[in-house]
Amino acid sequence: RERTRGSKLIIKMDGTQTVITDPASGQDKKFAFDYSYWSHDGFTEQANGYFAPASAKYADQQKVFNDLGRGVLDNAWEGYNCSLFAYGQTGSGKSYSMIGYQANKGIVPIACEDLFKAIEAKKPEMKAGEEYQVSLSMIEIYNEQVRDLLVSKTVKGGLKIRQHPNKKTLDGSGQSMTRSSVMNLVDLAGSERADSTGATGDRLKEGSAINQSLSTLGNCIKALADQSTGNSKVVVPFRDSVLTKLLQNALGGNSKTVMIAALSPADINFEETLSTLRFADRAKAIKTKAVVNESPTDKLIRELREENQRLMEMLKSGGGEAVSSSGSGGGDGEGSEEAEERMRELMKRNQEEMEAMERQWAEKLAQAQAESQAQIRDKEAVGERRKQQPHLWNLNEDPSLSGLIVHFCEPGSHTIGREAEFQLRGISILPQHATLNNSSDKVTLTPQNGAKVCVNGREVVQETLLNHHDRVLFGNNHLYVFDNPKAAAPSPSPIPTFEAAQAELAENSGVMGLLGDKAKSSSAG
């Protein structure tokens, strides 16, 4: 995008210092951070697709992980809550740093791999009864609604976020206690401003709703930075958005936190890049107070075991303490028997509670394994269906996210919209937006009145026959490719890309494309 618009480089990095040059005045603005990584050029692509450094200046994915992700993982092993989040405008490299692409794995997959490698390496040293337990949640926040990405069923209105009192933490030694930690790895939405996107009307409203979380995050960062300078009267608005509720510990509580500020080096993005640098500069002033955690469940189990051990020792010694506190008016023998019976009953209840809590984890693990196997079977089934049945699959700016959403066009009619069989979200999507009809593997698309639908970059208003690899845009930003395996050419055709689809939209409509580029307007004679 930047190359096609003839952009100039305005970012320089010298050690830990980042310098941005104002393209209008030529004035430099300097910012100092813990690390400044150069990834614009200076690499060679290996045979497997990995971008390897051609010089010491270039920071590859492994270097970024070693400097940032490794510390997060090491702190988690020590029992600290850890957070790492990426902030910046769309296309600046947030998802690339966090997730990566193909051979260039990002922080999240490398951290997960290294976590389980470390567990395997520690197994020979484990004592009897010791184990490592790992739980994962993957959530999406969209328009202030939370969706669990690991379950197939969507909760209407999104998941609810509730806060609970903090649990007690480990003492200084803590060697005999179970340690637990929470790692938050967050890929934030694009931080670009409305005027830079060129969005208007419904899309502007949609962008405003999406960025509400980022606006609140910015307010929280500013308030926390003010607090760190001694202004204790500032109230931090954590509760103003779902995102900041989830990140409250990461930003101002019990967590060791790392922020990645992703920058565009192009002059056309100067304002957004400068805004990102200032945001990061404020964020580095925030101080958190991280402490080692103990799992609340394991803490309770440990306390129950300790209580049972104490009761057992009392029984062996004749239960004198229990007898003296029983207040029984009968003989010593009768009081001793009652005290022993009470202690045995308490020990039994404690044992039952411990077994129940340990069983809960085993049941969760078994359920997760069953769900994982079901997801594998479902994925294989979807792959087979895609070879046989007409379907739509999504195109995304991030190539790793393309093809993850599939809508199959079985024989008959199918509705598309906010309240339809194939559900799409967004202000620009009508409740009943369009209809797909499959008759003998020939699929037609019919927009509803007032619905924006484009096929191969051109807006359509009536029934249209879809051909193999047609690009279909619903509303302003739901871009799909139509696949009809039975109508495919004998020799495979190139798979459509997001960039190519966006370019044809700009060329045919003369308006803003999905990436925010302004197409050249054709002159009328």
Sequence ranges of the binding site for ATP: 88-95
- Yes or no: say if 443 and 437 are a contact pair by the CB < 8 Å rule: yes
CA–CA gap between residue 519 and residue 430 (Å, rounded): 26
Question: In which region does residue 324 sit, left (phi positive, over 0), alpha (psi from -120 to 50) or beta (all else)?
Answer: alpha
Whole-Å CA distances, 140 to 96, 134, 151, 242, 404:
17, 20, 12, 11, 15
Longest dimension (CA), the chain: 115
Q: Are 292 and 79 in contact (CB under 8 A)?
A: yes
As a whole number of angstroms, the distance between CA 509 and CA 525 comes to: 18
Sheet holding 11-14, edge to edge: 11-14, 17-21, 28-32
φ/ψ region of 405 (left if φ > 0, alpha if ψ in -120 to 50, else beta) reads beta
Sheet order of strands, 453-455 included: 406-408, 391-394, 478-483, 470-474, 453-455, 458-459
Instruction: Please give the helix or strand (H or E) that residue 25 lies within, else none.
Output: none
Strand partners, 84: 185, 258
Judge contact between 276 and 88, C-beta under 8 A: yes
CB distance 20 to 273 below 8 Å: yes
d(CA 523, CA 313): 94
Q: Specify whether the CB–CB gap between 475 and 452 falls below 8 A.
A: yes
Q: Cβ contacts of residue 21 below 8 Å, gap of 6+?
A: 10, 11, 12, 27, 28, 29
Residues at the binding site are 88-95
Residue 219 dihedral angles phi and psi, to the nearest 5°: -65, -40
CA 219/CA 236 separation, integer angstroms: 8
Write the single-letter amino acid at 342.
R
Separation of CA 55 from chain center: 32
For tokens 């690899």, name the residue.
Answer: 469
- Alpha-carbon distance of 486 to 386, in angstroms, equals 11
The Cα-based distances of 150 to 86, 137, 177 in angstroms read 22, 7, 31
Distance CA 296, CA 12 (A): 48
Q: The tokens of 95 are what? A: 């998802």
Q: Which two tokens stand for residue 441?
A: 């593997």
Nearest CA to 184 out of 288, 276, 102 is that of 288
Residue 393 belongs to what H/E stretch? strand 391-394
